[in-house]
């Protein structure tokens, strides 16, 4: 589930440290390919300085903000946020194999432009040879990954039912998905 969530997370953050210890935090467009989290970047810059170093990659999703009055008509304490999150810890590695780089770049296109309408990226295609050669493609293994979901697991069944009913009645665009995620998690 954590890998599937990471694979569809719209925003992924990566943090590491420069050689002098300065923290570096970057937002990346990432894709999961063959058990690796991959992204592309310019071959120069702060992200490049993280290659070979330990990084933490994270993604999160606010599933629903729950106002206190969903659970109690007077007390503020029941207000909460339901969420899903993931962290991956590992060494950022450069992808140097041209075929592997092209697979990652094509996977990024499939992820972020699913309608296609482009010539598929291959390492030797004349349209892409220079880009495949010139871009940094980097990867982090998903071996050290931990996910967390706060989806009303700590609530009693009657409280969960009340929460589901309140979300359904509120009817915000994301509430139907929140109801489904809470149901699946419990």
- Model confidence at 10, pLDDT cuts 50, 70, 90, reads confident
Tens digit of each residue's pLDDT (9 = 90 or more) over 84-109 = 999 999 999 999 999 999 999 999 99
What value does the mean pLDDT of the chain take? Answer: 96
Instruction: Return the pLDDT at 71.
Output: 95
pLDDT at 112 over 90: yes
Nearest to 28 by CA among 134, 102, 123, 111: 111
d(CA 36, CA 57): 12
Alpha helices in the chain (DSSP H): 2-8, 46-49, 98-112, 129-134, 157-170, 175-185
- The overall longest dimension of the chain from CA atoms, in Å, is 67
Instruction: Return the pLDDT at 21.
Output: 95
What values do phi and psi take at 170, rounded to 5? -60, -45
Residue reference for tokens 């629903």? 64
Tens digit of each residue's pLDDT (9 = 90 or more) over 12-64 = 999 999 999 999 999 999 999 999 999 999 999 999 999 999 999 999 999 99
d(CA 158, CA 133): 58
Tens digit of each residue's pLDDT (9 = 90 or more) over 117-148 = 999 999 999 999 999 999 999 999 999 999 99
d(CA 92, CA 41): 13
What values do phi and psi take at 166, rounded to 5? -65, -45
SS3 label, residue 93: strand
Nearest to 40 by CA among 27, 49, 30: 30
Q: At what angle do helices 175-185 and 157-170 cross, to 10 degrees?
A: 160
The sign of the dihedral angle between the CA atoms of 156, 160, 166, 170 is positive
Give me the mean pLDDT over the 74-92 stretch. 97
What values do phi and psi take at 110, rounded to 5? -60, -40
């Amino acid at each position: 589930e954590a890998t599937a969530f990471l694979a569809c997370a719209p925003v992924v953050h990566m943090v590491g440290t420069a050689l002098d210890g300065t923290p570096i935090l970057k937002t990346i467009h990432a894709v999961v390919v063959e058990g690796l989290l991959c992204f592309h970047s310019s071959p120069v810059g702060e992200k490049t300085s993280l290659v070979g170093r330990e990084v933490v990659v994270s993604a999160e999703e606010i599933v629903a903000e729950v106002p206190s009055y969903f659970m109690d008509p007077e007390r503020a304490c029941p207000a909460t946020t339901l969420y899903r999150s993931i962290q991956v810890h590992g060494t950022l590695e450069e992808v140097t194999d041209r075929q592997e780089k092209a697979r990652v770049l094509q996977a990024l296109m499939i992820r972020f432009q699913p309608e296609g309408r482009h010539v598929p990226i291959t390492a030797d295609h004349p349209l892409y040879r220079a880009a495949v050669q010139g871009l940094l493609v980097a990867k982090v293994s998903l071996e050290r990954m931990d996910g967390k979901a706060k989806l009303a697991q700590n609530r009693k069944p009657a409280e969960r039912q009340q929460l589901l009913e309140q979300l359904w009645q509120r009817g915000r665009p994301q509430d139907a998905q929140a109801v489904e995620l809470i149901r699946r998690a419990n």
